[in-house]
Amino acid sequence: MPNLPRLRRPREPLATSAPGSDQEAAVPRIEEIEAGGLRWINIEQPSGTERAWLEEHFDFHALDLEDVLSRNQRPKIDQYPEYLFLVLHVPVFDRNVGRLGAGELDLFVGPDFVVTLPNQPVPPVEYLFERCRADRSLREKLFSRGSGYLMYRLVDDSFDYCFPMLRKVGNKLDALEDEIFEGRSEDVVRDISNAKQEIINFRKVIRPQRPVLRDLEKVKSRYLATDLDLEIYFDDIVDAHERIWDMLENYKEVIVALEETNESMLSHKVNDSLRVLTAITVIVLPLTLIASIFGMNIGLPGGGDPVSSSDSSFWVVIGIMVLILVGMTAFFRSRRWL
């Protein structure tokens, strides 16, 4: 593995263009903060232009730069002699589709630089970057502790961002439970399905991070130049991840229980309806049978029918009905339906 990377200063400043010119689209969108010998470069939604800028200013591996532009990169950590390349997924609510999705956060971390490349706006990264840019004391406090500590803050804030979202999920589950027992079982079927899908999506985002955090604990001291003991800090990240996973496991069990309870409530309502319909059927059946028999166009016992009462057709029909009744009863008993 070649020695990667040596931070290269630009040979000349980036060209700027007037608004509306043809060259405006080619100007890379780079945000940078520097303090205490540490640079934090933030590039949101990087494109080919930003990749060319990174290739010019850093000696990052070509495969890592490809991963930055990839849309379906799994969480991972790549180790190099002079930097780390870290890919994390952060749960982000997509308002366009109304569902929870995964926002990818790529990080290059070296002794004197941190490069963050979110593939879409990631609130905790945006918030920390703006705070550091606006608050000089905070910027100097964070940057003076080295790139390792800044990386810890980015990862820790990204996981802490999950807890308010998890509390909202928990509140939804509590509301669903109340609605089920208030007799609105039919109305909450779609809500239960949406909450279940949200928990599943959350689990898909969080679960793949577990091996990455374990690997990060092993390599942080070797590859990050810092005077701080980061052991306790990264243990805190692992603990936060485990708490998030435990909450998701609990919510998974709760939503399954709520779904089963709601189905039981719906089944109970259906059984009540069937009980009423069965009672009506049992009451009407004898009346229907009598009306059907005496409505036949054959001679009936006791006379009063235009057909001769001596006609044996009546008894033949009754005999056939009895044979059918006995045959069907025997068939059902043989199939253990009765």
- List strands edge to edge, sheet with 113-118: 31-35, 38-42, 113-118, 99-110, 84-94, 76-79
Rounded to two decimals, what is the model's pTM? Answer: 0.72
Separation of alpha carbons 338 and 224, rounded Å: 76
Query: Region 38-51: what's the mean pLDDT?
Result: 90
Query: Region 203-228: what's the mean pLDDT?
Result: 73
pLDDT tens per residue, range 131-150: 999 988 888 888 888 888 88
CA-based R_g, the chain, Å: 36
For residue 246, the SS3 value is helix
Separation of alpha carbons 312 and 320, rounded Å: 13
pLDDT value at residue 234: 78
Average per-residue pLDDT in the chain?
A: 80
Whether the per-residue pLDDT at 122 is higher than 80: the answer is: yes
Question: For 99-103, 124-128, 191-195, 244-248, which range has the lowest pLDDT when averaged over its residues?
Answer: 99-103
Whether the per-residue pLDDT at 273 is higher than 80: the answer is: yes
Cβ neighbours for 111, distance < 8 A, ≥ 6 positions apart: 82, 146, 147, 224, 225
Looking at residue 57, its amino acid is H
Local confidence band at 310 (pLDDT 50, 70, 90 cut-offs):
low
Whether the per-residue pLDDT at 326 is higher than 60: the answer is: yes
Residues above pLDDT 90, as percent of the chain: 17
Query: Region 254-269: what's the mean pLDDT?
Result: 86
Separation of alpha carbons 8 and 6, rounded Å: 6
Separation of alpha carbons 116 and 130, rounded Å: 13
pLDDT value at residue 166: 92
**Longest C-alpha distance within the chain, in Å?**
121
Cβ neighbours for 233, distance < 8 A, ≥ 6 positions apart: 149, 152, 156
Whether the per-residue pLDDT at 51 is higher than 80: the answer is: yes
Separation of alpha carbons 280 and 258, rounded Å: 33
pLDDT value at residue 180: 83
Local confidence band at 246 (pLDDT 50, 70, 90 cut-offs):
very high
pLDDT value at residue 5: 44
Local confidence band at 41 (pLDDT 50, 70, 90 cut-offs):
very high
Cβ neighbours for 89, distance < 8 A, ≥ 6 positions apart: 75, 102, 103, 104, 105, 205, 208, 209
Higher pLDDT pick, 203 / 267: 203
Q: Which one of 33-47, 71-85, 221-235, 293-307 scores highest in mean pLDDT?
A: 33-47
Higher pLDDT pick, 288 / 159: 159
Separation of alpha carbons 258 and 209, rounded Å: 28
The bridge status of strand 31-35 relative to strand 99-110 is unpaired
Query: Region 140-164: what's the mean pLDDT?
Result: 88
pLDDT value at residue 278: 81
Question: For 6, which DSSP code?
Answer: -
Question: For 198-212, 245-259, 264-278, which range has the lowest pLDDT when averaged over its residues?
Answer: 264-278
Cβ neighbours for 258, distance < 8 A, ≥ 6 positions apart: 173, 176, 177, 180, 192
Q: Are 138 and 131 in contact (CB under 8 A)?
A: yes
Exposure string for 129-150, b = 16+ CB within 10 A, e = fewer: beebeeeeeebeebbebbbbbb
pLDDT value at residue 294: 73
Whether the per-residue pLDDT at 15 is higher than 80: the answer is: no
The bridge status of strand 38-42 relative to strand 113-118 is parallel
